[in-house]
Amino acid sequence: MARHGGRGWYGRVVAAALGVTAVAAATSVWTAQAGPAGGQQAVAKPAVRKAAPVAAGIVHASDGGEHAVNITIDDGPDPAWTPQVLRVLRDNGVKATFCMVGPQAEAHPDLVEQVVAAGHRLCDHTVSHDTTMDKKPQSYQSEQIVNAERQITKASGGVHPMYYRAPGGAFTPYSRHLAASHGMRPLGWNVDSKDFERPGAEAIVATVQRELPNGPTLLFHDAGGDRSQTVAALRTLLPWLKQQGYSFGFPVR
């Protein structure tokens, strides 16, 4: 998604959740290391099995060819809006790429599984949705990307994210190469629908129609507030795109 200032609404929600998670994780690791008799024993830290590396360049192109578009949905999953977005996509026979925030995926694994079962693809959108990640240390960037990767993969039942989208486009050479080394192609966008600003469904439709010549990857959201305008806009845009002769693909890997 486009930059909306600092950590945004996720920063406040995730901070508390991460604190609880950290305490629970620390307790779990200490208990495992102590063993049943209180003696120390080596326990390997769980790790995400990395997929085959991919290119580190930010991708915009569609695997559907020159007259195809990529529908990308950011910031979920959300129990109110993700099912509605999925329904519109299903009704129009369209597949999309869902860029998920780690704790959201962890909180709603049923929705992550529904996304995968419907044939859509997963994308890592970090833990805290921090749009200033490009100003942070590499250790912070790594935690944001790798921890979200782990959360999304676990929530999906083992399906690995195929892409990485930096919040607000805050990519760095380090974050791009890290994601690519984990099999997640850095994913940009060409058309920002501006749905995050909730300008009205008609305005969202008009923005996409006007900006479509910029390229094939379209950005929408299914979380972060009331996304009813996004749902309504997609109901209009998906049939319109078909009428214009567009097909639907996934971002090139």
DSSP string, 62-115: BTT-TTEEEEEEES---TTTHHHHHHHHHHTT---EEEE-HHHHHH-HHHHHHH
CA distance linking residue 215 with residue 217, whole number of Å: 6
**Cβ contacts of 115 within 8 Å, gap of 6 or more:** 77, 82, 86, 98, 122, 156
Active site residues: 74, 221
Structure-derived torsion over alpha carbons of residues 104, 51, 177, 12, reported in degrees to the nearest 10: 10
Angle made by CA atoms 160, 177, 107, in degrees to the nearest 5: 35
Please give the helix or strand (H or E) that residue 163 lies within, else none: strand 163-164
Q: Which two tokens stand for residue 86?
A: 């999925």
Q: Which two tokens stand for residue 212?
A: 């479509």
Chain center to CA of 30: 32
CA distance linking residue 152 with residue 173, whole number of Å: 23
Contact at 8 Å (CB) between 128 and 10? Answer: yes
Q: Which two tokens stand for residue 113?
A: 């599984």
